[in-house]
Amino acid sequence: MNSCLYECSVMHHRFTPKEYHFVHDIFMFYLDLDELDLLAQNSFLFSHNRRNLYSFRDGDHEPAGDQPLKERVLSFLRQEGVPCLPDTRVMLLTLPRMAGYIFNPISIYYCFAGDGQAFAAVAEVGNTFREFKLYLLRPKNLGADGVFTLVVPKHFYVSPFSSLELNFDFRLAIPGAELNIRIDETDDIKPVLISTLTGRRAALTDRNLAWFTLKYPFITLKVIGLIHWHALKLWLKKIPFYRKTENMALQQEVLRPHPSLTAKLK
């Protein structure tokens, strides 16, 4: 099987207006969207579109639609002018529901041609308002080193301590034995915030899932809890606070928009 787990470290380093740094350990799933049903059949702890300790639901991810998630991803690529064949393999780095609860600040689709060569990546960025935005990294963004790179305006409300006028600087290495993801927030000159996700591959087995569950209990709740904990610490440090209802014009192509956004734009 192509699907696996990654035991990861998440690092954030903020440079301005005050320096702030943290590192936390988590684990993530790297799922072949063609293997979801087979994985569920072979696991007591993982299910596809059904309840379980870990449950992957197609409807939790973008692009939205009634088709299976892989078909929606391929349709999105074609709509964006990226040719892809039915034998395209789509891998998704993400967290599924854990005990029914899901939260993903970032999920990443990696798309591979039939010969195994990567040709596109799609970063699905989420926020605590349950909004999403997709950032497409095209074949031209893939370097000879196997890393997708792209600098693009954020145009998405990610954090109340992060200006909407910044850029995302994506550096997404194709996952292998190791995971190496870097997504910076930059102004036109320098990084404002560096974020990395690094890890080592592990087999997706019930034994490893049970061990990681003990080692990193309630992983999705841990992620959302840590986000609010660090937000409190940034607030106490008097980092400038940006309300979501500010700069609505800079919140563009938002998927599943929060009522506050749709009401303000009417």
5-26 pLDDT per residue, tens:
999 999 999 999 999 999 999 9
List, as own/partner pairs, every contact residues 183-187 make where C-beta atoms lie below 8 angstroms and the sequence separation is at least 24, other chains included: 183/106, 183/123, 185/154, 186/151
pLDDT at 138: 97
Instruction: Tell me which residue of 167, 219, 250 sits closest to 28, measured CA to CA.
Output: 219
Tokens 């109340």: give the residue.
160
pLDDT at 264: 59
* Cα distances (Å, whole numbers) of residue 71 to 61, 94, 132: 12, 18, 19
Instruction: Tell me which residue of 32, 217, 52 sits closest to 109, measured CA to CA.
Output: 32
Give the Cα-Cα-Cα angle 50, 55, 58 (nearest 5 degrees).
75
Amino acid in position 50: R
Q: Are 198 and 178 in contact (CB under 8 A)?
A: yes
pLDDT grade, residue 246 (50/70/90)?
A: confident
Ranges assigned E (strand) in the chain: 4-14, 20-32, 46-48, 54-56, 89-94, 97-98, 106-112, 118-126, 132-137, 147-153, 167-173, 178-186, 191-203
User: pTM surpassing 0.85?
Assistant: yes
| SS3 of residue 26 by DSSP | strand
Provide the pairing of β-strand 46-48 with 54-56: parallel
Residue 232 Cα to chain centre, angstroms:
23
Query: pLDDT tens digits for 165-222?
Result: 999 999 999 999 999 999 999 998 889 999 999 999 999 999 999 999 999 999 999 9
* Cα distances (Å, whole numbers) of residue 117 to 40, 100, 144, 216: 27, 35, 12, 33
Query: pLDDT tens digits for 200-216?
Result: 999 999 999 999 999 99
pLDDT grade, residue 143 (50/70/90)?
A: very high
In the predicted structure, residue 141 carries a pLDDT above the cut 90: yes
Determine the longest span between alpha carbons in the chain, in angstroms.
52
pLDDT grade, residue 261 (50/70/90)?
A: confident
Give the Cα-Cα-Cα angle 56, 58, 61 (nearest 5 degrees).
100
In the predicted structure, residue 266 carries a pLDDT above the cut 60: no
Burial of 19 (0-12, 13-18, 19+ CB in 10 A): exposed
Distance (Å, whole) CA 51 – CA 101: 11
pLDDT grade, residue 260 (50/70/90)?
A: confident
Instruction: Tell me which residue of 250, 99, 238 sits closest to 165, measured CA to CA.
Output: 250
Sheet bearing 147-153, strands edge to edge: 132-137, 118-126, 106-112, 89-94, 20-32, 4-14, 191-203, 178-186, 167-173, 147-153
